[in-house]
Amino acid sequence: MRSSVILFKRFNTSFYHRLSSTYAVQEIQADQYGIPNEVLKLNQTTTLDSNQLKANEVLIQLLASPINPADINTIEGKYALLPSSLPATFGNEGVFQVIDHRASNEQLRPGDWVIPKMLQWGNWRSHAIVSINDLIKIPSDIKIEAAATLSVNPCTAYRLLKDFVTLEKGDTVIQNGGNSSVGQAVIQLGKLWNINVVNIIRNRDQGMNELVAYLKSLGAEHIYIEEDLRKETLRSTLWSTIPRPKLGFNCVGGKATSDLLRVLDKSATLVTYGGMSKQPVTIPTAEFIFRDLTCQGFWMTQWKKDNYKGSEFAKMLHELIGFIRHGHLKPPKCQTFSLTDYKVAIDQAQQSMNTKKILLTP
Ligand SMILES: NC(=O)c1ccc[n+]([C@@H]2O[C@H](COP(=O)([O-])OP(=O)(O)OC[C@H]3O[C@@H](n4cnc5c(N)ncnc54)[C@H](OP(=O)(O)O)[C@@H]3O)[C@@H](O)[C@H]2O)c1
């Protein structure tokens, strides 16, 4: 919240001309780990002043930041990377707009959109002063939803498809959690790169037809429920038309994963990147030995750590933005809540079979 502003409208967003330089910051924080809505608090005690800005810093304002499953795990204290100390601000990704800078700073100007690339940095905050070296500038002509959800899930889908098996046109990958945000990006990138993507989703009493229609609208051609993996359906209908999968993506664990492993091709690779069922990955022994399977894990955060200094991350973001601009990559459907409504937002994000990504906005 600003003490005094003149607001100009430009394109689908807005930027501010500064009369007064004081910003009241809202941050979603916790001073202990635990059940998210029991430990999270809205902190409104911090104030930022643009006079604090150093030459290489900018003052940024939140446009939107999603609540991802990893954020919930982090608040619970169960994630592999936790804040260095508490209290901490949470939220692992988001898009911000530069609203103030030092005149000498030519790299970023008010109105520019940026994605923070720091690890362990809470995005669920209305404003921040950040070094320009920790920000990646992105174009402001894509939807805020697409920008806010760009740096974790589509990047994960991109790396899953690129880094494990060399896929040729016409090859097949199979994934569970096919309707997850990562899964939706895999569907769209797979279509773009001429890869067959077999999508396994959970059965549901309500909304199945709508979900299947939505995934088809993204380009999904092969959609099955988890139970189909144990039936003859796939053998008789699918593997006679497309090759068996060289690569499998697992974000579920438990039985869903053991069943998925059985339909992989000989010498295939299974990459586990999530554990939504909270069940361990159990590899059927005979499949593992006699069909020479490879099982690996992937963690986008580790990839970002390994590539922090280089330009690889920005390059991938810009390639993905190109796909977004051409209509090849859509963000998940989103529902927006203000930071002050974080409790409702957190509850909504934890609903089972929730079809929308929850975004926090100022
Ligand atoms: N390793 C990495 O670097 C990395 C990066 C990004 C994401 N991830 C992980 O990938 C997973 C998906 O993330 P996201 O943001 O794409 O999630 P999302 O959009 O919130 O979707 C969640 C997905 O998980 C499924 N799911 C939820 N509870 C389940 C359960 N008990 N059993 C089976 N499936 C269940 C949902 O299916 P329904 O619709 O049927 O509920 C949905 O497909 C998460 O585990 C996340 O932490 C990992």
User: pLDDT tens across 333-352, in order?
Assistant: 999 999 999 999 999 999 99
pLDDT at position 5: 36
Question: Using CA positions, which residue lies closest to atom 18 of ligand 1?
Answer: 180
Ligand 1, atom 44, residue with closest C-alpha: 274
For 40, the enclosing helix (H) or strand (E) is strand 40-43
Q: Could you tell me the pLDDT band of residue 233, with boundaries at 50, 70 and 90?
A: confident
Does 5-150+332-361 match 153-301 in CATH topology?
no
Ligand 1 centroid, distance to 69 Cα (angstroms): 7
Residue 19's contacts (CB-CB under 8 Å, 6 or more residues apart) are: 4, 5, 6
pLDDT tens-digit profile of 175-188? 999 999 999 999 99
pLDDT at 156 over 50: yes
Confidence grade of residue 71 (pLDDT, cut at 50, 70, 90): very high
Which pLDDT value is given to residue 231?
87
Model pLDDT for residues 287-298, shown as the tens digit of each residue: 899 999 999 999
**Would you say residue 18 has pLDDT above 70?**
no
The least confident of 92-96, 231-235, 330-334 is 231-235
Q: How confident is the model at residue 232 (pLDDT cuts 50, 70, 90)?
A: confident
CA-to-CA dists, residue 128 to 31, 123, 362, angstroms: 19, 9, 12
Q: Which of 251, 298, 305 to mutate to test the pocket of ligand 1 (most atoms within 8 A of CB)?
A: 251
Percent of the chain with pLDDT over 90: 88
CA of 243 from ligand 1 middle (Å) equals 26
Mean pLDDT over the full length of the chain = 93
Which of 53-62, 140-149, 307-316 is the least confident region?
A: 307-316
Give the model confidence (pLDDT) of 99-122 as tens digits: 998 877 789 999 999 999 999 899
**Cβ–Cβ < 8 Å for 47, 73:** no
On the question of pLDDT at 241 being above 80, the answer is: yes
For ligand 1, atom 6, the nearest C-alpha belongs to 153
- The distance of Cα 247 from the centroid of its chain, to the nearest Å, equals 21
What is the residue with the minimal CA distance to atom 17 of ligand 1? 180
Q: What would the two tokens of residue 179 be?
A: 């309707």
Q: What percent of the chain has pLDDT over 70?
A: 94
Nearest to 97 by CA among 16, 41, 156: 16
**Cα R_g (the chain), whole angstroms:** 22
Query: Which class would CATH give 153-301?
Result: alpha beta
pLDDT reported for residue 310: 84
Q: 208 C-alpha to center of ligand 1: Å?
A: 17
Which residues surround ligand 1 with Cβ inside 6 Å?
A: 68-70, 152-153, 156, 177, 179-182, 202, 251-252, 273-277, 298-300, 332, 352-353, 357
CATH 3.20.20.70 fits 5-150+332-361, yes or no: no
pLDDT at res. 167: 98
Q: Atom 23 (ligand 1): residue with closest C-alpha? A: 180
Question: How many CA within 13 A on the CB side of residue 42?
Answer: 16
Determine the Cα–Cα distance for residues 235 and 231; give it in Å rounded to an integer. Answer: 8
Atom of ligand 1 nearest to the CA of 298: 1
Lowest mean pLDDT among 53-57, 123-127, 179-183, 248-252: 53-57
In the chain, domain spans:
5-150+332-361, 153-301
- The answer to whether 3 touches 16, Cβ cutoff 8 Å, is no
Q: What are the residue numbers of the active site?
A: 79
- 233 or 350, higher pLDDT: 350
Q: 164 with 186: CB under 8 angstroms?
A: no
On the question of pLDDT at 12 being above 70, the answer is no
Mean pLDDT of 85-107: 92
Residues 300-327, mean pLDDT to the nearest whole number: 95
Dist. CA 9 → ligand 1 center (Å): 37
Classify burial at 354, counting beta carbons within 10 Å of its beta carbon; exposed 0-12, middle 13-18, buried 19 or more: exposed
